[in-house]
């Protein structure tokens, strides 16, 4: 703006107000820095005051008569959590086994008279012991009984144990354990090999990969059913993170895309996070996608006529928290945003109540926040101005939740769903091939979804595999927790 030629008084007034706010923020920041500098340099009289206090304390200690009790110090009262931490932790999920310990015959002699000690009926010294049963690998000699009819026209063989794949030497349970050790507990296959060697099993990481691949292949039907379930929901969350490639090409990392809906997590690993990949994954989706403000998302959504994008208030919160370090006025924005969350908390799981509260109370909060933001958005050289400008630029997406109570305020559920793969890539470092990325995406999808439903992942994978062999897609909510 050319201030020398500008004739609009109101426009000049808005600029002046914005500059006044900026100057005040800079003055406050300068005052804080000066205070920090003074604290670091120290008070020149502090040393003299400290010495004087020490001399006074020494004189009082010498003047006090012998046997004078030291002043009492009051300990900080323990919180309820601290008291609870001192007792034994309840273990409702552990099976209970009773063991009775008795004296050996040689120890049943009375040390006083030499007589025989007799058991006291019903009298025991009781306590609890949490024990461990070590992992044990066995080589099972499988014998499947054959049957024949007298007529000689029929020979039947008894069913054998469940195997990782047809003709495999390894059981299905062993294969599921390998999968969960890697994709739930993040143990690389090479590390699992070393652990198994200590338990007496000689195996290679290639064999473990073959077992992992066999499990993922048998679960492909379930993985696709989860993906279709997400696409059928009116609202989904979407996010992505890098997935390292371990081949020798030296190219850019792959991208792990995460799609979520209530109770469902689906992962897909692709070459990039471009608009074309967005369209390839969700281009046919019809509904609202909660995501961050990437330009590729907007470009991809334009290719999908049924897609509406909603913003994430958690991203706004982060930007104002960063700005609050130098601009305390940013706390005002955080308070307004906090009020939006408090309104949703009061509604709980009642969708219609949430709709009513959002249309009445949330709109009023947004109006106040909007008026405040528009005065700051021009200050783009300041962190608080950047935060305000980001919010203003995405205002339409950020306020879509007002009319649709199914839209969450943020995309935190999707970001939580990515945590497992993020921890995994720090341990087993990614994938060597596209086939490896497909296996990782499938297994992470099923494991993370099972966790949301409080289903034991080992139980779910085993039952889902057996159902998939029958052509059925067993989803976690079909099982009782």
CA gap 176, 465 in Å, rounded:
10
Give the tens place of pLDDT for each residue, 89-99: 999 989 999 99
CB atoms within 10 A of CB 81: 7
Distance CA 439, CA 220 (A): 9
Query: Which residue has better confidence, 305 or 6?
Result: 305
Across the range 410-428, mean pLDDT stands at: 95
Each residue's pLDDT tens digit, 241-299:
999 998 877 778 999 999 999 999 999 999 999 999 999 999 999 999 999 999 999 99
Angle, helix 220-231 to helix 434-452, in steps of 10 degrees: 70
Q: What is the pLDDT of residues 109-141, one digit of tens each?
A: 999 898 999 999 999 999 999 999 889 999 999
- Check whether 56 has a pLDDT greater than 70: no
Judged by phi (left if over 0) then psi (alpha if -120 to 50, else beta), residue 128 lies in beta
The pLDDT of residue 83 is above 60: no
**pLDDT at res. 2:** 63
Please say if the pLDDT value at position 449 is more than 90.
yes
Q: Once rounded to an integer, what is the mean pLDDT over residues 238-242?
A: 96
The runs of H, that is alpha helices, within 219-329 are 220-231, 275-282, 295-303, 313-324
Mean of pLDDT values over 344-356? 95
- Which pLDDT score is estimated for 79? 46
pTM across the whole model: 0.78
- 342 has pLDDT over 70: yes
CA 366, 372, 378, 382: dihedral to nearest 10 degrees? -100
Torsion region of 296: left, alpha or beta (phi above 0 gives left; psi -120 to 50 gives alpha)? alpha
Distance, CA of 422 to CA of 256 (rounded, Å): 10
Task: Examine the pLDDT at 16 and tell me if it is beyond 50.
Answer: yes
% of the chain beyond a pLDDT of 90: 71
- How much is the pLDDT for 85? 57
Q: Are 461 and 184 in contact (CB under 8 A)?
A: no
Contact 242, 253 (CB under 8 A): yes
In this prediction, residue 77 carries a pLDDT of 46
Condensed to tens digits (0 to 9), the pLDDT of residues 384-403 reads: 889 999 999 999 999 999 99
Domain-wise residue ranges, the chain? 217-310+413-478, 313-410
Determine the Cα–Cα distance for residues 233 and 255; give it in Å rounded to an integer: 23
Select from 420, 392, 397 the least CA-distant residue to 408.
Answer: 397
Dist. CA 131–CA 116, nearest whole Å: 33
pLDDT number for residue 269: 96
Read off the pLDDT band of 75 (50, 70, 90): very low
Indicate the burial class of 479 (C-beta count within 10 angstroms; 0-12, 13-18, 19 or more).
middle
pLDDT band at 54 (very low <50, low <70, confident <90, very high): low
Q: Using the predicted structure, report yes or no on whether residue 49 has a pLDDT greater than 70.
A: no
d(CA 440, CA 268): 9
Q: Helix, strand, coil shares of the chain as percentages rounded to 5?
A: 50, 10, 40
Alpha-carbon gap, residue 23 to 219, rounded angstroms: 61
Confidence grade of residue 21 (pLDDT, cut at 50, 70, 90): confident
Cα separation, 200 vs 135, in Å, equals 10
Q: Is the distance from CB of 446 to CB of 459 less than 8 angstroms?
A: no
Does the pLDDT of residue 66 top 90, yes or no? no
Q: Residues 45-55: what's their mean pLDDT?
A: 57
Residue for token digits 């390839």?
280
Closest by CA to 260, choosing from 227, 212, 302, is 227
Position 1 scores a pLDDT of 59
Going from the C-alpha of 162 to that of each of 169, 462, 479, the distances in angstroms are 10, 10, 20
Q: What is the mean predicted confidence (pLDDT) over 423-431?
A: 91
- How far apart, in whole angstroms, are the C-alpha atoms of residue 418 and residue 291? 13
Residues 6+ apart with CB under 8 A from 90: none
Residue whose tokens read 């007529």: 151
Give the C-alpha separation, 264 to 449, whole Å.
5
Is the separation of the CB atoms in 269 and 243 below 8 Å?
Answer: yes
Mean pLDDT in residue range 65-73: 43
Q: What is the pLDDT of residue 381?
A: 77
Under 8 Å between Cβ of 182 and 189 = yes
Range scoring the smallest mean pLDDT among 84-98, 131-145, 359-373, 409-423: 84-98
Of 194, 162, 208, 94, nearest to 461 (Cα)? 162
Q: What are the phi and psi torsion angles at 393 (to 5°)?
A: -65, -30
CATH number of 217-310+413-478: 3.30.420
Residue holding tokens 């976690």? 476
Residue 137 vs residues 69, 174, 200, 334: alpha-carbon distances, Å? 65, 9, 7, 55
CA distance 194 to 420: 23
Q: What angle do CA 274, 277, 280 make, to 5 degrees?
A: 155
Q: Are 316 and 387 in contact (CB under 8 A)?
A: yes
Predicted confidence (pLDDT) per residue in 313-323, tens digit: 999 999 999 99
Q: Which pLDDT does position 212 carry in this prediction? A: 98
For 352, half-sphere exposure in the C-beta direction (CA atoms, 13 angstrom radius) is 0
pLDDT value at 459 more than 90: yes
Per-residue confidence (pLDDT) for residue 163, from 0 to 100 = 96
Which of 10-24, 246-260, 337-351 is most confident?
A: 337-351
Residue ranges with strand state E in 51-180 = 146-148, 155-157
**What per-residue confidence (pLDDT) applies to 33?**
75
pLDDT value at residue 44:
55
Residue 256, strand partner residues: 241, 269
Compute CA distances 146 → 157, 160, 162, 347, whole Å: 4, 11, 18, 64
Given pLDDT bands bounded at 50, 70 and 90, which one contains residue 236?
very high
């Amino acid at each position: 703006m050319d201030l020398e030629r500008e004739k609009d008084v109101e426009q000049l007034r808005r600029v002046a107000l914005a500059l006044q706010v900026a100057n005040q923020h800079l003055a406050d920041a300068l005052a804080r820095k000066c205070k920090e500098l003074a604290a670091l340099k120290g008070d020149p009289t502090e040393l003299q005051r400290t010495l004087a206090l020490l001399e006074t304390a020494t004189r009082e200690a010498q003047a006090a008569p012998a046997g004078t009790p030291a002043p009492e110090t009051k300990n900080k009262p323990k919180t309820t959590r601290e008291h609870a931490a001192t007792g034994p932790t309840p273990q409702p999920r552990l099976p209970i086994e009773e063991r009775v310990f008795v004296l050996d015959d040689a120890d049943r002699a009375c040390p006083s008279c030499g007589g025989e000690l007799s058991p006291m009926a019903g009298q025991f010294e009781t306590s609890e012991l949490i024990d461990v049963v070590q992992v044990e690998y066995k080589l099972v000699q499988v014998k499947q009984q054959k049957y024949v009819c007298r007529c000689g026209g029929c020979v039947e063989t008894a069913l054998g144990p469940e195997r990782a794949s047809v003709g495999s030497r390894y059981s299905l349970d062993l294969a599921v354990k390998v999968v969960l050790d890697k994709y739930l507990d993040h143990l690389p296959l090479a590390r699992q090999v070393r652990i198994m060697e200590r338990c007496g099993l000689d195996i290679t990481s290639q064999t473990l990969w073959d077992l992992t691949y066999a499990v993922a292949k048998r679960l492909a039907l379930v993985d696709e059913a989860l993906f279709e379930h997400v696409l059928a929901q009116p609202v989904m969350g979407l996010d992505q993170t890098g997935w390292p490639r371990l081949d020798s090409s030296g190219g850019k990392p792959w991208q792990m895309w995460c799609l979520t809906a209530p109770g469902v997590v689906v992962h897909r690993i692709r070459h990039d996070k471009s608009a074309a990949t967005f369209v390839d994954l969700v281009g046919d989706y019809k509904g609202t996608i909660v995501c961050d403000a990437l330009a590729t998302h907007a470009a991809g959504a334009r290719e999908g006529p049924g897609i509406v994008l909603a913003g994430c208030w958690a991203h706004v919160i982060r930007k104002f928290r960063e700005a609050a370090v130098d601009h305390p006025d940013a706390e005002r924005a955080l308070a307004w945003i906090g009020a939006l969350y408090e309104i949703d908390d009061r509604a709980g799981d009642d969708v219609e109540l949430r709709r009513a509260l959002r249309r009445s109370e949330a709109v009023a909060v947004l109006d106040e926040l909007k008026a405040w933001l528009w005065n700051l958005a021009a200050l783009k050289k300041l962190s608080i101005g950047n935060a305000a400008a980001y919010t203003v630029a995405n205002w339409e997406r950020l306020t879509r939740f007002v009319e649709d109570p199914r839209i969450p305020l943020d995309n935190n559920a999707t970001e939580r769903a990515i945590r497992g793969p993020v921890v995994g890539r720090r341990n087993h470092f990614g994938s060597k091939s596209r086939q490896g990325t497909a296996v990782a995406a499938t297994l992470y999808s099923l494991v993370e979804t099972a966790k949301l439903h409080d289903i034991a992942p080992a139980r779910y994978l085993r039952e889902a595999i057996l159902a998939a062999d029958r052509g059925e897609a067993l989803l976690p909510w079909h099982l009782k927790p």
